[in-house]
Structure 1
Amino acid sequence: MYTIIGTVTARPETRKELASLLMAQVAPTRSEAGCINYDFHVDAADPCVFVFYENWADRAALDAHLAMPHLQPLFSQLDRLLACPVEIRPLTMLSERSA
C-alpha cells in the first residue's frame, strides 16, 4: 500500500472555487483502479487549507491517478488558485491495517 497526505492551500479569494474543484475529484478518484481510499478534509483552523488522506494499492496506482483526464481542469488552474505549491507527503505505515 502507498499512503500520502496531500495539502492544498487556496488563495483566500479562490477558496470556494478551489473547494468545489477539489470536491468534484472525490467520486471519480474513488472509482479508479488501485484507490483504497481518498478522503477530502478542510483544516479546522484555516478554511483555505485542504487536505487529502489517500491510500493507493501502490505507487503506480497513484501515478496513474495523477495522469487521469478528470484532473486536468484542476491542474490547469493551480497557479491561479493556490497560495503555495501543493505539498505531497508520503507515509509509511508502522502499525497493522485496521479491519
Structure 2
Amino acid sequence: MIKVVAKGTYLDGKAEEAIELYKELVFETRKEDGCISYSLFRDVKNSSVLTMIEEWESQEALDAHMKTEHFTRIVPIISKLRINSELNIYELVM
C-alpha cells in the first residue's frame, strides 16, 4: 500500500479556485483502479493550506494515476495557484 501526502500553500484568494479544480480531479480519481482513498483537506488554522491525502493499492496504480488525462490537465493549473508545495510518498511498513 502507498500513501501520498501532497500539501500546498496557495496564493491569497486562490485556495477557493484550487478547490473548484480539485472537485473534478477527486471525482475522476476515485473511479480509478487501485485508488483506495483520495481526499482534499484544508488546514484549520491557515485556510491557504490544502492537503491531498491519497491511498493507493500499489506504486503502479499511483504511476498510472499520474498519467491520466484529468491529472495531467488539472494539476498544472493548480500548481500555478500555489506559493509552494510538498509531496511525500510513503510505503506501508507495518
TM superposition score category, shorter chain reference: 0.7 to 0.9
Aligned length in residues: 94
> Can you give the 5+ residue segments of structure 1 that lack an aligned partner in the other structure?
none
Partner of 1:89: 88
**For residues 78 and 40 of structure 1, what CA distance do their matches in structure 2 show?**
13
Aligned-pair Cα RMSD in Å? 1.7
1:93 partner amino acid: L
Helix, strand or coil at the partner of 1:13 = coil
Superposed structure 1 runs of 4+ greater than 3 Å apart: 92-95
Partner of 1:69: 69
Partner of 1:36: 36
Does the 8 Å contact 1:36/1:55 carry over to 2? Answer: yes
Give the TM-score, by structure 1 length.
Answer: 0.82
Change (3 A) 1:59 1:26: same
% identity of equivalent residues: 26
Structure holding more strand per residue: 2
Larger Rg: 1
Helix, strand or coil at the partner of 2:28 = helix
Partner of 1:57: 57
Change (3 A) 1:77 1:42: same
Give the TM-score, by structure 2 length.
Answer: 0.86
